[in-house]
């Protein structure tokens, strides 16, 4: 089963439609048991990080996420989903996140148009199955006011320039995440979801 996590927000319809368009069957769920039973998990992201962390915790989904990461179940997190994987965020005056990756999330600096909204290119910093068949510097759709600042570069697989260099794609073990929205990014975004799902259902990414 492919589980798309419903924590009371998130871009669920677009993600579910993208997965269905690719020919996969997925369940939109807020049940931790479904997440734990899934062969692949997608954590969509729309909204504020603090609300996302709170909503995940209130449903027991934070514990489920930690368990599937420990098990190496493939996970694809999107936008705010990427941000909450880190240790803390400046959003909302500051809050603790899931702490699955070392680093923090910071507000885009003054002088830049916020939110960063629209199409921007992603520079692939190393080869990864997530980018298979996707040309370097392909354009994806972004909507965000905060960005992840990893403690190290080992998980970074994609970067984007927006007045500064933003980490726009990461991979650590069987966990991948993007700051952009693949489900809003046309053919390149669909190809990215397909790359994730076809490899995840084989047991690794």
CA 54 to chain CA mean position, Å: 17
Report the 3 state secondary structure along 123-176. Answer: EECCCCHHHCCCCCCEEEEEEECEEEEECCCCCEEEEEECCCEEEEEEEECCEE
pLDDT in tens, 28-52: 999 999 999 999 999 998 888 889 9
Considering the entire predicted model, what is its pTM? 0.95
Question: Does residue 108 register a pLDDT over 70?
Answer: yes
pLDDT in tens, 66-76: 999 999 999 99
In 57-127, the DSSP E strands lie at 75-78, 88-89, 95-96, 103-107, 116-124
pLDDT for the residue 158 = 98
Q: Please count the CA atoms within 13 angstroms of the CA of 80 that sit on its side-chain side.
A: 22
Residues of the chain with pLDDT > 70, as a percent, come to 98
Q: What angle do CA 143, 58, 47 make, to 5 degrees?
A: 10
- Collapsing DSSP to helix, strand or coil, 92 comes out as helix
Question: Does residue 10 register a pLDDT over 70?
Answer: no
Which residues form the catalytic set? 79, 181, 183
CATH 3.40.50.880 fits 2-200, yes or no: yes
Q: d(Cα 192, Cα 52) in Å, to the nearest integer?
A: 24
């Amino acid at each position: 089963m492919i589980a798309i996590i419903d924590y009371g927000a998130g871009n669920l319809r677009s993600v579910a439609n993208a997965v269905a368009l690719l020919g996969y069957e997925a369940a939109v769920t807020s049940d931790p048991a479904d997440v734990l039973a899934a062969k692949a998990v997608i954590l969509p992201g729309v909204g504020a990080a603090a609300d996302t962390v709170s909503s995940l915790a209130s449903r027991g989904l934070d514990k489920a996420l930690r368990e599937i990461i420990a098990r190496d179940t493939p996970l694809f997190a999107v936008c705010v989903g990427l941000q909450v994987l880190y240790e803390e965020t400046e959003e909302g005056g500051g809050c603790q996140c899931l702490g699955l990756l070392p680093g923090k999330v910071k507000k885009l600096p003054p002088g830049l148009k916020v939110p960063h909204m629209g199409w921007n290119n992603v520079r692939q910093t190393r080869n990864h199955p997530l980018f298979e068949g996707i040309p370097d510097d392909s354009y994806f759709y972004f909507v965000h006011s905060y960005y992840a600042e990893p403690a190290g570069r080992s998980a970074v697989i994609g970067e984007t320039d927006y007045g500064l260099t933003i980490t726009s794609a990461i991979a650590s073990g069987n966990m991948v995440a993007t700051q952009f929205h693949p489900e809003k990014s046309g053919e390149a975004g669909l190809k990215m979801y397909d790359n994730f799902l076809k490899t995840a259902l084989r047991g690794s990414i």
